[in-house]
Chains A and B, each alone.
Chain A
């Protein structure tokens, strides 16, 4: 269920990107140089896909991979535009809007080469919000030594499969209770 949500969010995000990128190519002239020189931040630049397609201009963007759009703003297409040249067949990497899903924020980045999407990667799958951590909350194999440990001396209660009244007598919980009677 979660996977489906993520995939659909990813697709939606990619769709937005593509739309933005296409509109970006059309309005490339008006490009409104927001993201270009400012380096990775480009905060506040909302308009999806505002240019940067060909527009050699900056070169600043080329190295920085738009590390996870800071202010949550779409940071659309703040990415690298590849090198200066490729104006006709636009290429580069483009970060999509941050999309809120019930599992948290999701943001994807597409790589375009020769006008085709060649890669889709997830820039952001989680954030500080606890629920969204669940996106990676799958139970994975763990060695005994890797598990959160406790000595019976510093726990206040014991969880275990239901003990019968008689089994309780020899249980750790009984020992704890006896110590606190």
Chain B
């Protein structure tokens, strides 16, 4: 951290765990003067609650687990109408998104198998955020494989926003942009989808190759950000324009040739 004159430098503490094929990080500010042991304990408890939530959802929705409800549906052993309420709720939510995005986001693989992986991670982040609030945590940053939801500030009890960097898809060791989350703004979530990374989770509408290599969407809630980022990668320019006109979001979209399309919120 580089020292700045009038800004406090955030003192942060993080916990990570693996789930859903990626790594989830929970970061919280260290309250000054507070005993580090108490802070450590609170963070450990919070991370455990988040992890439990992710694992429950993964156990039900993962297509990588042969015993999951999703896998049983995919194999035809279970009918959707006989599925659990949780599964049907998420399927209904995903189907709503398919309507709202005019098909750019879809809860099904091309072979017709229900695939809610495009929704479940965002939903898990949202639920984890609700759990953290319920546990009384006002300042935190939850990052699940590059999708981010924050609350409050990186300074305990402060007003400053969290600063999120966005990876440059052409050089993953560098950042192409930054975006402030939380603090005094209502925008708390930032999700990024790519056409190159895990091709298994975005089904492009039509046979075409995506126009965009990477799309980041900042929104008030993580499910909207995540779904729209996925939908824009899949649906190209028309979906980008639908998203910016229909939702209160900021978008940074990077074309395959490296060109950038961005809403005013991403302009320096």
Residues of A in contact with B (beta carbons under 8 Å apart): 1-3, 130-131, 133-134, 136-165, 168, 170-174, 176-177, 180-181
Q: Chain A contacts of B163 at CB under 8 A?
A: 150, 154-157
**Binding site of B, secondary structure by majority: helix, strand, loop or mixed?**
strand
The distance in angstroms between the C-alpha atoms of A177 and B146, with both chains bound, is: 13
Q: Is the Cβ of B23 less than 8 Å from the Cβ of A168? A: yes
Task: State the Cβ distance, B223 to closest chain A Cβ, in Å.
Answer: 15
The distance in angstroms between the C-alpha atoms of A148 and B13, with both chains bound, is: 26
Q: A134-B248, A176-B14 are in contact. Are A148 and B191 (CB under 8 A)?
A: no
The distance in angstroms between the C-alpha atoms of A107 and B98, with both chains bound, is: 35
Q: A149-B268, A150-B165 are in contact. Are A157 and B246 (CB under 8 A)?
A: no
B87 contacts the other chain (CB 8 A): no
Task: State the Cβ distance, A122 to closest chain B Cβ, in Å.
Answer: 17
A and B contact pairs by CB, cutoff 8 A, 25 listed: A2-B245, A134-B248, A137-B245, A142-B266, A149-B177, A149-B178, A150-B165, A152-B165, A155-B178, A156-B141, A157-B25, A158-B175, A159-B164, A159-B166, A160-B214, A161-B192, A162-B147, A162-B193, A163-B23, A164-B198, A165-B22, A168-B23, A172-B175, A177-B27, A181-B15
Q: Is the Cβ of A162 less than 8 Å from the Cβ of B178? A: no
Which single member of A131, A158, A177 contacts B14 (CB below 8 Å)?
A177
Task: State the Cβ distance, B98 to closest chain A Cβ, in Å.
Answer: 17
Q: Is the Cβ of B252 less than 8 Å from the Cβ of A172? A: no
Q: Chain B contacts of A145 at CB under 8 A?
A: 268
Which single member of B12, B147, B263 contacts A159 (CB below 8 Å)?
B147
The distance in angstroms between the C-alpha atoms of A179 and B262, with both chains bound, is: 31
Q: Is the Cβ of B267 less than 8 Å from the Cβ of A180? A: no
Q: Is the Cβ of B21 less than 8 Å from the Cβ of A165? A: yes
